[in-house]
A and B are shown apart, each in its own frame.
Chain A
Amino acid sequence: MEQPSSSFQLLERIKKGDREALSLLLDAHRRRLAVLAHYRLGPQLRGLVEIDDILQETMLKAYLQLDQFTYRTPGSFMRWITRIMDHVIADAARYHGRQKRQATQLLPFRSESNPGGPEPADSRTPSRLLAQDEGLRSLMRELDELPDDYREVILLAKIEGLSTREVAEQMGKSRETVALLLHRAVKRFKKLHDLEESL
């Protein structure tokens, strides 16, 4: 669980030029960001861009723009860095979109619209981050099992750390519905998790 004061203290240390503090803070958020990045990239980009690279650029940008960040709540750091990551992913998508237009011989990967294309995982090694972090991999396996709505509410509420009201806004639903959705999602997730543990 995130300690409200510790994140704040780390930020204070970073502002004084303590690089280790930033390293620690980013470490603390690395898994969350990796999970978010994985799902935000989508299957097409996932084959072309590595989550590691997305994280790297995000961290670098965060580091360079740190003086624009203001601390309000413990969640504001996560919210701020997610926004940065969204930009990075958009940039990567644009970059690869351009690349693809330039190199027409590049075969599009298999997707719903192109079932004949090669499997992304075949042509590229899967992200090393995922390959080497067993915990993270099983977490993602469980998330993959969830229905889309359940996964999305967990991503927004638990990983991005938004309040249920904010989640409701993003998903265009009432808070009551979101609360129920989250409740059922967590229940389902627990069931999957226990199943995985017992295997």
Chain B
Amino acid sequence: MKDSSSGPEPGTGNPDSQPAADEEQQLANAAADFHDLRASGEVVDVETFCRKYPHLATLHSQIETLDRLEVLLNMPAAAGAPARQPEALPERLSGHRILSEIGSGGMGRVLLGVDEALGRTVAIKVLDSRYVNNTLLRTRFMQEARAMARLSHPNIVHIYNLGQPEETPHFVMEYVEGTSLTEAARALTIGQKVELLHKTVLAVEFLHQHEVVHRDLKPGNILVGPDLEPKVLDFGLAHQADSGHRLTLAGEIMGTPDYFSPEQAQADPALDARSDIFSLGVIMYQLLTGTLPFRADSLSDQVHKISEQDPVLPRRLNTSVPGELQNVCLKALEKKPGDRYQTAREMADDLARFLAGEPVHASPTSYSRIMAGKIETHLRDLEAWRQDHILSLYEFDAFRKLYDRLTDREDAWILEVRRLSLSQVALYLGAWLLVVGATLVVLFRYDSLSSTSAVLLAVAAAGPTAWLGIRCWRQERFRIAIAYLLAFCLLLPVALMIAMNRMDLLSGFSLGKESLEIIAQFSMTRRPTNAQLWWAICLSLPAYLWLRRFTRASVFSLVFAAMAALLPLVSLLRAGAIDWFPDEARRFYLWLVPVALLFFAMAALIERRGHQADSRYFYPIAVLFTFVALSGEAAQDKHLTDWLARTVPQTHGLPEYLFITNAVVYLLLQSFSERFGSAQMRTVAKVFRFVIPGHVLTSILLLGINATSNWDNGRSPGWQTETRFFEILLPLAACAFVFGSIPKQMKNFFATGLFFLAIGIIRLQQDLLKNHSLWPVSLLIAGLLLMYIAVNYTPLKLAVIRWLRRGR
């Protein structure tokens, strides 16, 4: 506390060195007592206190001096001043007639006024009367107005004029007839919200360019008029970066910390424009999801959340939020300023890209944190393996090192680390051998093994496996238990079948051949019947369900789904499929359609009841059945091709047309499954989508080749037109698929399209455009032109959109 600017007064020595007269010390002690009483919060009356020391005549004046100092220090506003009374409205300010009060904030109130000469309504911000006599606050208040008046931007509130010194401090600004951003956004579409945000971000960018950091961006400070134009206002906290002056009212605590950036929440002195970016991110999050990203009951909790916690992903709260916008929002909400958008311009550009339907550039780091979380779960998995002694400590460490490298974002690919260890492999291999051995026992006859002992052997294999599995489960050695139980799952139908075979149970009720045809090819088999196989599977299904419930491991749902898929196939066997398949293949494929539907229904039902881990095994089976059924129908159904040739003779009954029809069916199926909105159904839709280009383009190519060869063979002249038609159709369709890859990001559309486009170009070159030099030249020009458009795509597109709007 040494201050060099003031030296000790000349002639005054060190106070300690002067001997204190007894009376002076007494006086000092009494005054000190008085001071201490006050400091501890006692209410002490000066007169009463002084009466206790009648011999100290000067005590009273001494205490008075003490008090004077106190008064001097408490001058600006006495503690516990009475609550503010509602003030009367002034008649006029700066020549404006005052109509009413619109609102009041920390520093003052906002009045509604009318400029009678111009006939316009204005908003007038008036400094609170409490602060009128405070020169400091007065100056700051007017500085805020000057900071705003320097800026002229359509999305920033205009200042018309500043109040004259003789009037109550005030300034006149544009009156925005509108609501706060969140209010206004309530009824808007996502696109409109983004438009609003885009404009707001550009306005903030304008502020930043004029070296003003707003510091208090929140929906209440962004008013939106009925024309959906946002207006940024209230620079109460504005900080002019160039002067280094902070226009903040020292005693004034700004609104809510909901929109604070981490550096603001920690009162970091080095605060820059990127703090505003964070606040914009919070606003964006609120617009997209309807809730604030960081909410807590107490302030310190809130500060902790703002600076430490990742917000819940917006898409978790509102599935209709596009992933691109989520990326933009999370990028703005990065904790470290260096990870955020570095300027508001960058953020505005990304929003413009979204509006133009372009991919945004943002890639928030929070995804990699989520990824790290997933790796952590897998590491816990590995830890469990280690505890079961399936993984050695050495192997576990090796895995962990690989994962560490991955989380450190070194180049280790996830597949590389998902390697199996020797003992893991051995465990599952043993289980598999057990199952295969038991199957051999069931199917083949061995001279030295009577059928009774075969039954006993199968039961001896199945029983202990189940027992060991359940015991391991109870001992919480889950991985081993699942290996045993999986072996049991496969052994169970085998054991059931061999038992039924031995006892000759349930062998009948089949059409066609009774014995299992495929097995009957070999000699020395036990010849179990179709019916026995069917019953063995059917009786095993409840066991799988029980295991699923007992272990809560979804892998048993996989077993259940696979076995349930076998069941309809075996049913077809029982219905004599082997007998009639060569002649009536369509019957087989038609039968698969209801089976596929049944699996879809089961999967949807299971997913609906909240067992996503289980339903994911049913969908692939359903999809597989659909593919087999539809492709089989198209390729093998003679009735269908005959019918096609009869009704549409132009098709010549070629099965390629049926494949194109299938592609249309897949298209319908994918749009149907996408409507369900569940993640798994979306995957199903993606699989259906995946096969479409292959179906369509291969069919067109084959039809073209077929037409060409018919034309070459000199058949009817109609083949020439058809050849030409398919020659032109193929590159067109290929281009359609290339561009069709954009909406759903189907990369195989793109690749397949490019591949077939090249084939189409070659086919054109071979036939129609032989020896036309313009053909490759025009290809070159088209390529260059496309590349130019692509490079300048966003500005060109925005220009076109604006032009179209103006036209309207």
Contact = CB atoms under 8 A, between A and B. Distances in A.
B251 A23 contact: yes
A182 B269 CA distance: 36
B316 to A, nearest CB: 28
A30 B251 contact: yes
B135 to A, nearest CB: 4
A164 B35 contact: yes
Nearest to B75: A135
B48 to A, nearest CB: 15
Contacts of B27: 183
B142 to A, nearest CB: 12
9 closest A-B pairs (Cβ-Cβ)?
A: A6-B80, A183-B28, A179-B32, A144-B6, A28-B79, A147-B8, A27-B77, A132-B135, A27-B251
A26 B251 contact: yes
A101 B297 CA distance: 41
A57 B14 contact: no
A30 B250 contact: yes
Given A1-B67, A183-B31, A165 B253 contact: no
A25 interface: yes
B299 A66 contact: yes
Contacts of A22: 253
Contacts of B40: 73, 75, 163
Contact of A25 (B69, B79, B140, B250): B79
A127 B530 CA distance: 97
Interface string B1-43: 1111110110010111000100011011101100110111111
Contact of B9 (A20, A61, A145): A145
B20 A148 contact: no
Contact of A73 (B5, B12, B16, B41): B41
Contacts of B140: 128
Contacts of A152: 1
Interface string A1-30: 111111101100000000110111111101
Contact of A75 (B9, B41, B80): B41
Given A39-B3, A189-B65, 9 more contacts: A28-B76, A31-B76, A39-B1, A43-B3, A66-B299, A111-B4, A128-B136, A147-B15, A182-B28
A42 to B, nearest CB: 8
Main secondary structure of the interface of A (DSSP, over half): helix
Given A20-B84, A67-B299, A184-B15, A179 B79 contact: no
Interface string A61-91: 1011111100001110000000000001001
B246 interface: yes
Contacts of B38: 1
A100 interface: no
Interface in A117-134: 128-129, 132-134
Contact of A186 (B1, B14, B62, B106): B62
A19 B257 CA distance: 12
A152 B8 CA distance: 13
B72 A139 contact: yes
Interface in B55-91: 62, 65-81, 83-84
Contact of A164 (B36, B42, B257, B265): B36
A55 B250 contact: yes
Given A53-B269, A64-B267, A180 B28 contact: yes
20 contacts: A4-B43, A20-B84, A31-B75, A39-B1, A53-B246, A61-B267, A67-B300, A73-B40, A74-B41, A132-B139, A150-B15, A157-B35, A164-B35, A164-B36, A176-B29, A179-B31, A179-B32, A180-B25, A186-B31, A193-B65
A79 B136 CA distance: 25
A181 B741 CA distance: 86
A112 B248 contact: no
Contacts of B72: 31, 135, 139
Contacts of B79: 2-3, 6-7, 10, 24-25, 28
B1 to A, nearest CB: 5
B41 A4 contact: yes
A9 B66 contact: no
A64 B299 contact: yes
A71 B140 CA distance: 32
Contacts of A57: 267, 269
Interface in A156-185: 157-159, 161-165, 173, 175-185
Contacts of A9: 80
Contact of A1 (B9, B31, B70): B70
A195 B20 CA distance: 25
Contacts of B31: 179, 182-183, 186
B521 interface: no
B166 interface: no
A186 B69 contact: yes
B252 interface: yes
Given A19-B106, A64-B303, A95-B270, A147 B3 contact: no
Contacts of A19: 106, 253, 255
